[in-house]
Amino acid sequence: MNKIDSIKENIQKAKKGNQIAFSFLLDTFWNDVYGFQLLRTKNENDAEDITIRTFSNAFDKIETYNEDFEFRTWLITISKNLHVDLIRKRKKNLLEEMDTHGDAVQRVLDETPTVEDQLITEQNLATLLQDIKKLKPHYQKVINLRYFNELSYADIARELDEPVNNIKVKLLRAKKLLAEIIKKK
C-alpha cells in the first residue's frame, strides 16, 4: 500500500473514531503544520500551540473533510485560520489593555487561560472529580497526570509510552470534553 492510499484509509478510519488512525494522521502531518506555523509565527510556543489546536479542531470535525482536496491542505487551512484568530485576539487584548491602563502592555498573552481552563479551575474539586470520571479512561488519565500529578508533557508521554504530540492533542481534547460536561450543568 502506498502512502497516499494509507493516508486515505486512515482518514476513513478516523471518521469512524479510530484512535490509532488519529495518531497516524497526527504523526504524518505534525511536521508539515508545525513547520508552516513556525515560519508564520517565528515563535516555537505559538507554532506548537496552533498546531495542537489545528489537530484538535481537525479531529473534532473530521467528518466534514472533503476528500476531493488534499488532507495536508485542509490542515494547513485550519492552521492558517487559527493563526489569524490568534492575531485578532491578541490585537483586541492589546487595544483593550492600552485603553484601560494607557501603559505599556505587560501581560504575557501566551499564559492567558483558555475558556476551558477557566471553567475547569472554577469548579469545586469534588464536583470536578465527579466530572472527570465521566470522561473516557484515557482522557481521565491525561487530566490526572497533568493537573493532579503536575507532570510535564514529556513525563506524561513517558508514563503512557506515547509520543508527546499525542499527549498534547489528547489533553486538549480531554479539556474540551470536560469543559462541555461542566457547561451542561
pLDDT in tens, 51-103: 988 998 898 899 999 988 899 999 999 999 999 988 888 888 777 766 555 44
Q: What is the per-residue pLDDT for 147?
A: 83
Within 8 A by CB and 6+ apart from 138, the residues are 19, 170
**Rounded CA separation 8/19 (Å):** 15
**Rounded CA separation 24/107 (Å):** 37
Q: What is the per-residue pLDDT for 120?
A: 60
Q: What is the per-residue pLDDT for 158?
A: 93
Question: What is this structure's pTM?
Answer: 0.58
Rg of the chain in Å (alpha carbons): 18
Please report, in tens digits, the pLDDT of each residue of the chain (185 residues total): 788 889 999 999 999 988 888 889 988 999 999 999 999 998 888 888 899 889 988 988 999 999 888 999 999 999 999 999 888 888 887 777 665 554 444 344 334 556 666 666 565 666 888 888 999 898 899 999 988 888 888 899 999 998 887 888 888 888 888 888 988 87
Q: What is the per-residue pLDDT for 124?
A: 65
Q: What is the per-residue pLDDT for 35?
A: 94
Query: Which runs of consecutive H residues, i.e. helices, occur in the chain?
Result: 3-15, 19-41, 44-60, 71-101, 115-122, 125-132, 137-143, 153-160, 164-183
